[in-house]
Amino acid sequence: MYNVVIARYGEIGVKGKNRYVFENRLIRNIKNNLKEIGKLKVYKDQARIYIDIEDYDYEAVIQEVRKVFGIVSLSPAVKLEPDYDKLKDVCLKLTKEKLEFENVSTFKVESKRADKKFKLKSPEMSQDIGGYLLSNLGDSLKVDIHNPDFVVYAEMREENAICYVDKIEGYGGLPIGTNGKAMILLSGGIDSPVAAWLVAKRGVEIEAIHFHSYPFTSERSKEKVKDLARILSKYCGKFTMHSVNLLPIQKTINQNCPEEEMTILSRRFMMKIAQEVALNRNCNALITGESIGQVASQTLQSLHVTNSAVDIPVFRPCIAMDKTEIVSLAQKIGTFETSIIPEEDCCTVFLPKNPVIRPKIEKILSSESKLNVDELIKDAIDNIEVERIEF
């Protein structure tokens, strides 16, 4: 019965004169997410986005569109000619379906009279349609205007009438591509995919850089990270991933620096390399999945030393979240099950028994001065592997 999906946006609506830029980008992102389903008509009308679904499965359409950042809710709907009697009939059919397939018994009607020439005002429409539903459905349905099991939405417009009974929640945020680009340091763990998702939700286009220690870490470890990147691409669209072998740098640090500084020095090299790649790719910031105090390299002192390695901003959206919160979000976006697959990563190579947890910047810089930093970074970047990731 449904012939259209209504997609609603949130904060885009307060963008003033620039709103059309966000709306147009949102429409483009919706079309990109629907490419695998078909070439559907997507258009805007009166602060909403509409997708004409024709003979396509509306549930599949909604499943793809709800992943688009900027969408706050969606509704499968029936759009028909502006005939009030036909609108009431559609309201009745959708209500019958709701009663048949879901455990519901109470309802209310919310009406909107966009056509000011229509004889009934919005409250009068709600009363009339509500009475019509009750008269046809008898004891199986009751009115509850405060806490109903579902709501019947009915709209009379000049050019059409619309009815729907469901609102499916989206993720909100802003459309990808409206707020610049950033580089995520993507590992095989739980935190960094969540961090990437959170920043992308604010309209930031992402690229990824992954550090491995092959052959000390396996090919399967690298594939796991690619799997995580593909899951992210469902929300973020296609993006580029840069893979860097950190092993030569780790060996050099191991041979020339105190063992307890291994983790923090390796982390500084990761940040320096990520910054070089980010700037070459026109990224304005780095993203990490760090959370205060989670591991030795994430104490405030360690984060200060890590930050001092780069000049561009570093976004840490998980910084004040505890592990339970991060895990919950990872489960929500679908990365958790892949993240917990047991594979080694570069951080476990040469892992010190007693890593420094309150590093002094002067001491770390002194150790770093024993290394040919520029040459090590250049060699790592010269041997980088680049891959385009898409779901």
Tens of pLDDT, residue by residue over 16-36, are 888 899 999 999 999 999 998
211 is in an annotated binding site: yes
Question: Stretch 79-84: mean pLDDT, rounded?
Answer: 96
> 224 and 358, same structural domain?
yes
Cβ atoms of residues 36 and 53 within 8 Å:
no
The verdict on 47 and 98 lying in the same domain is no
Q: Is the dihedral of CA 185, 366, 279, 176 positive or negative?
A: positive
pLDDT tens, 92-141?
999 999 999 999 999 999 999 998 889 999 999 999 999 999 999 988 89
Question: Which two three-digit tokens encode residue 253?
Answer: 């640090």
- Of residues 311 and 296, the one with the higher pLDDT is 311
Side-chain half-sphere of 132: how many Cα atoms within 13 Å? 21
Query: Do 382 and 302 belong to one domain?
Result: yes
Q: Are 56 and 87 part of one and the same domain?
A: no
**Considering only 283-287, 294-298, 349-353, which range has the smallest mean pLDDT?**
349-353
Question: Would the pLDDT of 344 be above 80?
Answer: no
**Same domain for 63 and 88?**
no
Can you tell me whether residue 285 is helix, strand or coil?
A: strand
Q: 154 vs 77, 123, 151, 166, 249, CA distance in Å?
A: 10, 11, 10, 12, 64
Please report the pLDDT score of residue 216 as a whole number: 82
**Is residue 36 located within the same domain as residue 118?**
no
pLDDT at 348 over 80: no
Burial of 342 (0-12, 13-18, 19+ CB in 10 A): exposed
Is 146 annotated in a binding site? The answer is no
Residues shown for the chain: 391
Position 294 confidence tier, pLDDT thresholds 50, 70, 90: confident
> Does 345 have pLDDT greater than 90?
no
Same domain, 101 and 195: no
Using the 3D structure, point to which of 124, 159, 194 is the last residue of a domain: 159
Please report the pLDDT score of residue 81 as a whole number.
Answer: 96
Kindly state whether residues 239 and 229 are assigned to the same domain. yes
Q: Are both 49 and 134 inside the same structural domain?
A: no
**Of 110, 145, 175, which one is at a domain's C-terminal end?**
175
Tokens representing residue 327 in the block? 């895990």
Q: Is the predicted pLDDT of residue 349 greater than 70, yes or no?
A: no
Instruction: Tell me the average pLDDT across 164-176.
Output: 96
Beta strands in the chain (DSSP E): 4-9, 41-44, 49-52, 71-80, 106-113, 142-143, 150-156, 161-164, 168-169, 181-185, 205-212, 239-245, 285-287, 314-315, 385-389
- Maximal CA-CA distance, the chain: 86
Query: Do 242 and 144 belong to one domain?
Result: no
Residue 205 above 80 pLDDT? yes
Alpha-carbon distance 17 to 15, whole Å?
Answer: 6
How many structural domains does the chain have? Answer: 3
Report whether 25 belongs to an annotated binding site. Answer: no
Q: What is the mean pLDDT of residues 206-226?
A: 91
Residue corresponding to tokens 């929300």 = 235
Residue 334 vs residue 293, higher pLDDT:
334
Residue 186 labeled ligand binder: yes
**129 and 109 Cβ atoms separated by less than 8 Å:** yes
- Residue 197: give the domain boundaries: 181-389
Q: Is residue 298 marked as binding?
A: yes
4, 161 Cβ separation under 8 angstroms: no
Average pLDDT estimate for 129-155 = 94
Q: What is the mean pLDDT of the chain?
A: 94
Q: Write the single-letter amino acid at 323.
A: K
Region 333-353: mean pLDDT is 82
Cβ burial of 34 (10 Å; 0-12, 13-18, 19+) is: buried
Residue 224: give its domain's CATH number: 3.40.50.620
Is residue 230 annotated as involved in ligand binding? no
High-pLDDT (> 90) share of the chain, %: 84
Are 374 and 267 found together in one domain? yes
pLDDT at 232 over 70: yes
Q: Which CATH number fits the domain that encloses residue 11?
A: 3.30.70.1510
Same domain, 140 and 278: no
Residue 124, domain CATH:
3.30.2130.30
